[in-house]
Amino acid sequence: MHNSTHIIHSSIPFGLDATWVAVSILLVIYAVIMAEKFNRAVLSLLGAGLMILCGVLNQQQAVAGIDFNTIGLLTGMMVIVAISQKTGMFQYVAIKAAKVVKGEPWGILVMLSLVTAVFSALLDNVTTVLLIAPVTLLITDALAVRPYPYLFALILASNIGGTSTLIGDPPNIMIGSAAHLSFYDFLTNLMPIIPIIFIVVIAVIWLMFGSDLKTTDEKKELIMQFDEGAAIKDVPLLKKSLFVLFAVISGFTSAHALHLEPATIAMFGAALLLLLQTWGEPLHDKDHAYEAIMAEVEWTTIFFFVGLFIIVTGVEHTGVIGMLAEKTLALTGGNFAATTAAILWVSAIASALIDNIPFVATMIPLIQSMGPTFGGQEALVPLWWALALGACLGGNGSLIGASANLIVAGFAQRAGHPIAFLSFMKHAFALMILTILISHAYLYLRYLS
Amino acid sequence: MLAKSVMTKDLITAHLGEPVGDVLQRMRKHKLRMLPVLNDKKVAVGVVSTFSILEKIVPSYIASGDLEQVAFAPDIGFLKTHYDQAIYKKIEEVMDDTPLLVKHDESLLSTAAALTSLDKHEYALVIDDDECLVGIISSGDILDYLRNMKVNDKNDA
């Protein structure tokens, strides 16, 4: 993200004011993205193009505004996940988890939530729920229990788990990259509160659904007949994937000491796994495999980010984000604790209702602009944790709060158990508020008291 | 050579509103794996096949490919339950409502191209200018026609 803010007035057509042009582009594009009538990547690229065509930015400034660390980290992890998921390891772990608790319905809910949270912390949330939700539906069919409590828990667990690491959720990737916060920083600052939030949420889910989750001994025995070993489809590839995943995660934890950016580690890991995946195969098969993996990278998301970075850079160049930061500080009276709380709660509510990626993309330069007021960029660190906790946990507030929520809802719909928007929100929003209250207490006790 | 010259004209059909069980019985009786589904104006609105019925019996999270393989799962018992429910459903609930349609005056080359295009189909429904069903043409029909064709006729296909 571009740090400097300076007002430019050159080459704006019809003598229009650059600030109004840039802000109008941002507002119109964000509004149409929220309406969900058009593809969000197309809209963000259109907005980015307009920023240049209208003279708010030149192409050089636009390209400089793209955070290639975020783009590289996302793309690299998408490649690694696309290959790893072919091994069946996710299904293996999910089934193993169900068997560890001897097929007990409540135990299975807890274990599947835990597995989802851990995978969501290490990989992206969407992939995690894409792989865990179908197994969950199969297990609930076998148990003859209502799948809703399980899917509800899965959604919450994926967003809670994703909050805990640099790579767990796209907002964290963006924040880490912009604020130069390492994987280790996320582990030591966000991870400690996540188990507490997870336990509290699971306890509330128990109060909500615990008494409904009953099955027969016969059905439990059916779960014990699942053969997790048969889920592993490719043992050599599993070994290669685990090796690269372990190496990449280790790389993230030591990236700071090695003076490496996470994108370098993720892209190198991706290239290494692509190479290992097809090692020893004929060239034609290799090419085919590479192309198949590349097709699985979510290019829509990548281009959405590219466009978004340019749009936000355009607005940032006009100085309007700096002005917004000043207004925010005026509202909080320049008080650091009040500003932290405001960022946490506004991010949470906003992320429950709108896409948290454009929200975070806009908040990043706004928080950076607060540096001089609070004594430099170093002093802003608690504000970044407030943004990460608010944006990631806020995703639990509604069915549209995060992409993973919509994926699970899609599975439920197709399986004949649709999740109603309002009935989900009735429980989930209250639980989200609870998690933000816990986060608020944590931020206060650790950084502000 | 045109599609109407190669197509099968003696048709067994299913109709909107019929129970799946009755249609399955008809398919079994005539040793057929698929039937065109017509509305009351004889317009082809879909195709019901053993595959499209099985697809509705297997849970959506498996049939959709989201769970690529379930070799790890024992027989859970839901296939029989779902089958027993499916046979009482109306045919429109289990049919494929995007059948491959070709016009009766389309060339054989165009028909063969449609059958082998991206969404590969085993059968195409042949319709007249009023979109009423007049025949079915399968990949096998085309191969049989080509086998019986004389060398001198080759410009016709």
Which chain A positions have a beta carbon within 8 Å of B59's beta carbon? 137-138, 141, 415
Confidence band (pLDDT; 50, 70, 90) for A6? Answer: very low
Neighbours of A369 (CB within 10 A): 22
Nearest to A307 by CA among A9, A38, A5: A38
Which chain B positions have a beta carbon within 8 Å of A407's beta carbon? none
Task: Classify residue A56: in a domain, yes or no.
Answer: yes
Contact criterion met (CB < 8 Å) for B61 and A411: yes
Contact criterion met (CB < 8 Å) for A138 and B78: no
SS3 category, B2? strand
Confidence band (pLDDT; 50, 70, 90) for A83? Answer: very high
Which of A126, A130, A137 is the mutation pick for testing B, counting most B CBs within 10 A?
A137
Give the integer Cα–Cα distance in Å for B96 and A252.
49
| pLDDT > 70 fraction of chain B, expressed in percent and rounded | 95
Q: Which of B64, B69, B78 sits opposite A141 (nearest CB)?
A: B78
Contact criterion met (CB < 8 Å) for B66 and A130: yes
Nearest CA in chain B to A227: B72
To the nearest whole Å, the CA of B63 is away from the closest chain A CA by 10
Query: How many interface pairs between A and B have CB atoms less than 8 angstroms apart?
Result: 52
- pLDDT tens per residue across span B52-93: 999 889 988 888 777 777 888 888 878 888 899 999 999 999
Nearest CA in chain B to A414: B60
- Residue B137 is inside which H or E element, if any? strand B133-138
Contact criterion met (CB < 8 Å) for B61 and A130: no
Nearest CA in chain B to A137: B61
Give the integer Cα–Cα distance in Å for A252 and A239.
20
Task: Report helix, strand and coil shares of chain A as percent, to nearest 5.
Answer: 80, 0, 20
Count Cα neighbours of A369 within 13 Å in the Cβ-side half-sphere: 21
Cα-flanking dihedrals φ and ψ of residue A155, to 5°?
A: -60, -50
**What residues in chain A have their Cβ under 8 A from chain B's Cβ atoms?**
88, 91, 95, 130, 133-135, 137-138, 141-142, 222, 225-231, 233, 411, 414-416
To the nearest whole Å, the CA of A137 is away from the closest chain B CA by 8
Task: Classify residue A1: in a domain, yes or no.
Answer: no
Helix A105-122 / helix A125-143 crossing angle, nearest 10 deg: 170
- pLDDT tens per residue across span A233-286: 889 999 999 999 999 999 988 887 888 888 999 999 999 999 999 888 888 888
To the nearest whole Å, the CA of A219 is away from the closest chain B CA by 9
Burial of A78 (0-12, 13-18, 19+ CB in 10 A): buried
Task: Classify residue A46: in a domain, yes or no.
Answer: yes
Q: In chain B, how many domains are there?
A: 1
Contact criterion met (CB < 8 Å) for A411 and B76: no
SS3 category, A391? helix
Contact criterion met (CB < 8 Å) for A137 and B69: no
B139: Cβ–Cβ under 8 A, 6 or more apart, which residues? Answer: B112, B115, B116, B122
pLDDT of residue A246: 94
Task: Classify residue A112: in a domain, yes or no.
Answer: yes
Q: Which two tokens stand for residue A400?
A: 């549209």
Give the integer Cα–Cα distance in Å for A108 and A131.
16
Domain that holds residue B25: 3-156
Confidence band (pLDDT; 50, 70, 90) for B152? Answer: low
CA pseudo-torsion sign A159, A165, A169, A174: positive
Which CATH number does the domain housing residue B64 bear? 3.10.580.10
**What residues in chain B have their Cβ under 8 A from chain A's Cβ atoms?**
59-62, 64, 66-74, 76, 78
Which chain A positions have a beta carbon within 8 Å of B66's beta carbon? 130, 133-134, 411
To the nearest whole Å, the CA of B75 is away from the closest chain A CA by 9
pLDDT of residue A8: 47
Contact criterion met (CB < 8 Å) for B73 and A226: yes
Which chain A positions have a beta carbon within 8 Å of B93's beta carbon? none
Domain that holds residue A397: 13-65+89-231+298-448
Q: In chain A, how many domains are there?
A: 1
What average pLDDT does the segment A207-233 reach? 92
To the nearest whole Å, the CA of A434 is away from the closest chain B CA by 32
pLDDT of residue B153: 62
Which chain B positions have a beta carbon within 8 Å of A88's beta carbon? 69
Confidence band (pLDDT; 50, 70, 90) for A3? Answer: very low
- pLDDT tens per residue across span A139-170: 999 999 999 999 999 999 999 999 999 999 98
Nearest CA in chain A to B66: A134
To the nearest whole Å, the CA of B56 is away from the closest chain A CA by 11
Task: Classify residue A77: in a domain, yes or no.
Answer: no
SS3 category, A235? helix
Contact criterion met (CB < 8 Å) for B59 and A233: no
pLDDT of residue A266: 93
